[in-house]
């Protein structure tokens, strides 16, 4: 005995179709594509929320949610909200107390929350020394090799031109004039590459 068929309306596209009475679900769809479309739309709409700044209801992108965002409906609301947090009376009092505690200067070295003992500045490795502050690592290596402090007119040259390669055999101590001569060819080539504007 054949099962009785009923006329149904697709929950997604609304198209009329016939389906066996024992296979009817709620909601039901005329084809697989409509079911997938309905599921995707339902998941999309389930992400709807209110903006924490203006209160507007919006649907954040999935990437925003994965990154822990999706709190504001636009960049403008996010910027304004962060500005209100930064410039609130409580935050200003906290900033003033920190400023006075640090002696009106930004803490450096072990007192800084992001202190790691070394950092990279303009391609050079900087190392923290307690009584001298941040010093370029290649100068410290050269001073250790020479057994003395470098003079103010002495510079340390990297033989292979790699600023982070601070092996003693890769370093050469010389005067500033000698250092300019070492880089003369590079400077001349760079000057020739500049497109000078023609006049007249």
Digitized pLDDT (tens) for each residue of the chain, 200 residues in all: 455 777 888 877 878 878 777 666 767 888 888 888 888 777 777 788 888 888 888 888 777 776 667 788 888 888 777 766 655 667 667 766 776 676 665 556 776 666 788 888 888 999 988 878 888 999 999 999 999 988 888 999 998 888 899 999 999 999 988 888 888 877 667 666 656 555 44
Residue that is last in its domain, among 106, 129, 145: 106
Please identify, among 80, 106, 132, the residue that sits at the C-terminal boundary of a domain.
106
User: Are residues 125 and 186 part of one domain?
Assistant: yes
Question: How far is the C-alpha of 78 from the C-alpha of 35, rounded, in Å?
Answer: 36
Same structural domain, 53 and 88: yes
- Structure token pair of residue 48: 């709807």
Q: Residue 143's pLDDT is what?
A: 93
Our count of domains for the chain comes to 3
Q: Are residues 30 and 64 in the same domain?
A: no
Question: Helices then strands (H, E): number in the chain?
Answer: 7, 9
Specify whether 33 is located in the same domain as 72.
Answer: no
Whether residue 113 lies inside any domain: the answer is no
- Looking at the fold, whether 30 and 74 belong to one and the same domain comes out as no
Does residue 137 form part of some domain?
Answer: yes
**Residue 183 included in any domain:** yes
58 and 94 together in one domain: yes
Residue 200, pLDDT score: 44
Q: Does a structural domain hold residue 200?
A: no
Shared domain check, 41 and 56: no
Q: Is 9 a domain residue?
A: yes
Whether 180 and 122 share a structural domain: yes
Strands (E), the chain: 5-9, 16-20, 49-50, 57-58, 118-121, 124-129, 133-136, 154-158, 171-175
Residue 92 lies in a domain: yes
Q: 17 and 34, same structural domain? A: yes
Six-digit token pair at 198?
Answer: 């023609």
Q: Is the pTM of this model over 0.75?
A: no
User: Which tokens hold the place of 136?
Assistant: 């370029």
Question: Which is nearest to 41 in space by CA: 15, 69, 13?
Answer: 13
Q: Which domain range does residue 35 map to?
A: 5-45
Is 72 a domain residue?
A: yes
What is the helix (H) or strand (E) element at residue 86, kind and residue range?
helix 75-86
Asked if residue 153 is part of any domain, the answer here is: yes
């Amino acid at each position: 005995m054949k099962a009785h068929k009923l006329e149904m309306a697709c929950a997604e596209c609304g198209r009329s179709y016939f389906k066996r009475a024992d296979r009817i679900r709620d909601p039901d769809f005329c084809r697989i594509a409509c079911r997938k479309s309905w599921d995707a739309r339902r998941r999309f709409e389930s992400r709807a929320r209110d903006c924490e700044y203006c209160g507007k209801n919006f649907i954040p992108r999935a990437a925003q949610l994965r990154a822990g965002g999706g709190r504001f409906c636009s960049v403008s609301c996010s910027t304004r909200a962060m500005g209100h947090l930064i410039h609130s009376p409580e935050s200003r009092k906290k900033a003033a107390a920190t400023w006075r505690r640090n002696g009106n200067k930004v803490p450096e070295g072990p007192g800084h929350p992001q202190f790691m003992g070394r950092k990279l500045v303009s391609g050079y490795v900087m190392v923290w020394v307690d009584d001298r502050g941040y010093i370029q690592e290649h100068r410290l290596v050269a001073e250790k090799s020479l057994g003395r402090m470098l003079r103010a007119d002495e510079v340390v040259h990297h033989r292979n031109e790699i600023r982070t390669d601070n092996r003693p055999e890769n370093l050469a101590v010389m005067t500033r004039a000698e250092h300019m001569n070492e880089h003369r060819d590079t400077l001349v080539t760079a000057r020739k590459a500049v497109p000078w504007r023609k006049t007249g």
